[in-house]
């Protein structure tokens, strides 16, 4: 099989860098186009870690040029910006994996938490890029909405137990994430002096990833009680989830059976940690049961399973490749 030409629009950020690192070592994808909003630079100038590793020009993003050179494009741009690229790219027959939030939610929910949507037609045909839920749909997709990092960690932990959950009881998701999840743009919240030796919640019970969790689990938004925390780490994410359940079942066996054929979910005997998934596409999950309460803990790398490596898994599936092809699976542990 000949190489498949792919490109990245939005190469400047952390997720753009992770995409480059995966794609330059991918056995079937050829990185043929790299762009950002300004152009006129090179990858090693944007990301000095790539000097003497991989070099190419970074162009100013242009739909026509991207469509000429690529069969599939990764969009690592902010929400609202992505919509401007998706519509013309799809019209040119280019497949798209969008890492923004623009195509993850139905129009009414999206507009309540983000902004007016200008590409409703394609929104309705987008496939949510969580392979454990939508693998078959991904095989024929032209547009994939890559999930958010918090929803990925939460949904994968909760899914196996939805049939045991007591209806209309609170779903409590307490998540901690590294600072890279906020992107490169500096703010008062992510300033070193504020983050170092510190830990705090932000947007408690009102974070816009909560409706994404609720919508994909098909439960009312007001039943999801989601509180994210920023921790003084570069990367990584852990979600501690609490569910009220009923019935007689072995929670560990339920988890093992549900994910027995999934290449990127690992069931753990001990509580999970961030380090064992850093730099990989794995989601590690631990569960403990006490009477009618489940404690579920899931760990992912927010830049990888929460963004870039999951995007490449989705691209693999879209292009008819083995989904594990080229995906890093060795963690950054000593």
Question: What positions carry a catalytic annotation?
Answer: 149
Q: Is the dihedral of CA 253, 257, 259, 260 positive or negative?
A: positive
Distances (CA, A) of 209 to 175, 264, 294, 308: 11, 22, 22, 18
Q: Both tokens of residue 29?
A: 């994808």
Task: Annotate 67-134 with DSSP letters as a single string.
Answer: HHH-SEEEE-S-TTHHHHHHHHHHHTT-EEEE-SSTTSS-HHHHHHHS---S-HHHHHH-EE--HHHH
- How many CB atoms within 10 Å of residue 261? 8
CA–CA gap between residue 20 and residue 22 (Å, rounded)? 5
Closest C-alpha among 243, 226, 224 to residue 289 = 243
CA–CA gap between residue 17 and residue 2 (Å, rounded)? 25
**DSSP at 61:** P
The tokens 């969580």 sit on which residue?
130
The tokens 């002096």 sit on which residue?
193
β-pairing verdict for 171-177 and 237-244: antiparallel
CA 254 to chain CA mean position, Å: 25
H helix or E strand, kind and range, residue 290: strand 283-290
């Amino acid at each position: 099989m000949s190489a498949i030409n792919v490109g990245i629009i939005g190469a400047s950020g952390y997720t753009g860098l992770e995409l480059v690192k995966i794609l330059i070592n991918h056995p079937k994808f050829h990185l043929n186009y790299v762009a950002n909003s300004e152009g006129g630079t090179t990858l090693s100038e944007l990301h000095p870690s790539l000097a003497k590793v991989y070099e190419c020009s970074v162009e100013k993003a242009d739909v026509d040029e991207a469509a000429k050179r690529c069969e599939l494009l990764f969009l690592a741009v902010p929400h609202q910006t992505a919509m401007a690229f998706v519509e013309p790219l799809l019209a040119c027959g280019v497949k798209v994996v969008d890492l923004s939030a623009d195509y993850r939610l139905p129009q009414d929910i999206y507009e309540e938490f983000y902004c007016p949507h200008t590409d409703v037609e394609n929104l309705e045909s987008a496939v949510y890029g969580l392979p454990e839920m939508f693998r078959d749909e991904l095989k024929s997709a032209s547009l994939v909405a890559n999930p958010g990092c918090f929803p990925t960690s939460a949904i994968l932990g909760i899914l196996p137990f939805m049939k045991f959950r007591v209806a209309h009881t609170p779903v409590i998701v307490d998540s901690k994430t590294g600072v890279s999840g906020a992107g490169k743009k500096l703010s008062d919240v992510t300033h070193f002096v504020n983050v170092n030796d510190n830990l705090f919640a932000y947007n408690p019970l009102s974070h816009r990833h909560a409706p994404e969790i609720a919508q994909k689990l098909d439960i009312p938004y007001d039943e999801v009680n989601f509180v994210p925390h920023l921790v003084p780490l570069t990367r990584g994410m852990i979600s501690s989830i609490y569910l009220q359940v009923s019935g007689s079942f072995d929670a560990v066996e339920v988890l093992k059976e549900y994910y027995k054929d999934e290449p990127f979910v690992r069931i753990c005997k001990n509580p999970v940690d961030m380090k064992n998934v850093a730099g990989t596409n794995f989601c590690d999950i631990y569960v403990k049961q006490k009477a009618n309460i489940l404690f579920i803990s899931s760990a992912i790398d927010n830049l990888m399973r929460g963004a870039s490596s999951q995007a490449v898994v989705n691209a693999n599936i879209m292009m008819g490749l083995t989904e594990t092809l080229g995906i890093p699976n060795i963690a950054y542990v000593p």
